[in-house]
Amino acid sequence: MHTPKTGEGMRLIIGSVLAVVLLAGCSQQAEADLAVCKNELNKAQSEATAAKAAQAASQQTASALQQQVASLNAQVAQLQSAAAEAAAKAETTAKAEPAHAKKTAAKPAAKAPDPNAKAPDPNTPPPAPLTPEERRKKL
């Protein structure tokens, strides 16, 4: 039988110890990497959950806004219908009373304010009231 020499045996033992130390170090590094990966996974899952909640809230808001738009469209349709009815009624009334329209047209229109007239200065005090003698003179 062949027996290993003492030097070869020592090399074999030292090599084995180094291999075990390297494997232990790799195992510890792998465990640390695994812990980091688990932490990142938990963060990503939390962010995904938050994003789903935000999406659900946005969908609820969008649904509520769509309902408001539908309601407002219905109101617009009702107002347009009422306006059309009022216009038809006004047209019928105008045809039925042409003499009344002529009387109304004969009256002079109220005098419109002059757009070129200057507005009074707000810092100027109003004119003093007339005394009884001044009022008599005006009459």
Number of domains in the chain: 1
Amino acid letter at 95? K
Residues 63, 7: Cα–Cα separation, whole Å? 82
97 falls within a domain: no
* pLDDT computed for residue 52 by the predictor: 94
43 vs 32 pLDDT, higher one? 43
Mean pLDDT of all residues in 27-50: 89
Residues 74, 66: Cα–Cα separation, whole Å? 12
* pLDDT computed for residue 64 by the predictor: 95
Domain residues for the domain of 72 are 9-91
For residue 1, pLDDT over 50 is answered with no
36 falls within a domain: yes
Q: Is 3 left (phi over 0), alpha (psi -120 to 50) or beta?
A: beta
Percent of the chain exceeding pLDDT 70 equals 79
133 falls within a domain: no
pLDDT in tens, 79-102: 999 999 999 988 888 887 765 555
* The Cα angle at residue 128 between residues 122 and 132, in degrees rounded to 5: 155
86 falls within a domain: yes
28 falls within a domain: yes
